[in-house]
């Protein structure tokens, strides 16, 4: 009996998450972000148009320890000021926006540790084979240092964020 209650509870939670995931009104097609702020400790990414909040997203981050990215392979999400310097529709993830990591400071920090700084830090959707997860992906930090959204959310961000948009990633 206990087993069936647990299964029913899990199914209820999953159903609610999936239902609520589609309940957010989409950004207008002409919305343009002028700045992105990621607050790692809150797992939030906020798009701004000038000083007005366009949308706040709950995100999954790097699965590494807390703190800024130190070197290649540490699975941490960097901290600092960067820009969106590219977009891709061709990767193992649905869509992605490339973040200009590493900065000169990031390179110097990694070099002082005798390691490469790493790269390929992005805001992206879900892995192509796991898109069915939707917002459930947020239950655990799982990326190798990137910022992950649902595919519906990355579609919005993709259209609203032009190349050259500043992004600040903070603890």
Return per-residue pLDDT of the chain as tens, 171 residues: 676 675 655 545 545 444 445 456 789 889 999 999 999 999 999 999 999 999 999 999 999 988 899 999 999 999 999 999 999 988 788 999 999 999 999 999 999 999 999 999 999 999 877 877 788 888 899 999 999 999 999 999 999 999 999 999 999
| Structural domains present in the chain | 28-170 (2.40.440.10)
CA-based nearest residue to 69, from 148, 146, 160, 149: 146
Are the C-beta atoms of residues 45 and 147 closer than 8 Å to each other?
A: yes
127 and 46 in contact (C-beta within 8 Å)?
Answer: no
Angstrom distance (rounded) from CA 35 to CA 84? 10
What is the distance of C-alpha 144 from the center of its chain? 11
What does R_g of the chain's alpha carbons equal in angstroms?
17
Is 123 within 8 Å of 27 (Cβ atoms)? no
């Amino acid at each position: 009996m206990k087993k069936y209650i647990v299964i029913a509870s899990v199914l209820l939670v999953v159903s609610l998450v999936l239902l609520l995931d589609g309940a957010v009104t989409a950004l207008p097609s002409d919305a343009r972000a002028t700045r992105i702020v990621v607050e790692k400790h809150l797992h939030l990414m906020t798009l701004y148009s000038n000083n007005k909040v366009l949308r706040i997203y709950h995100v999954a981050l790097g699965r590494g320890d807390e703190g800024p990215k130190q070197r290649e392979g540490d699975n941490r999400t960097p901290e600092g000021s960067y820009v969106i310097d590219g977009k891709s529709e061709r990767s193992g993830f649905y869509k992605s926006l490339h973040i200009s990591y590493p900065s000169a400071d990031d390179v110097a920090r990694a070099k002082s540790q005798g390691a490469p700084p790493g790269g390929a830090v992005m805001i992206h959707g879900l892995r192509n084979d796991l898109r069915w997860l939707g917002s459930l992906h947020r239950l655990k930090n799982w990326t190798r240092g990137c910022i992950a959204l649902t595919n519906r959310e990355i579609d919005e961000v993709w259209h609203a964020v032009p190349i050259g948009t500043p992004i600040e990633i903070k603890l």
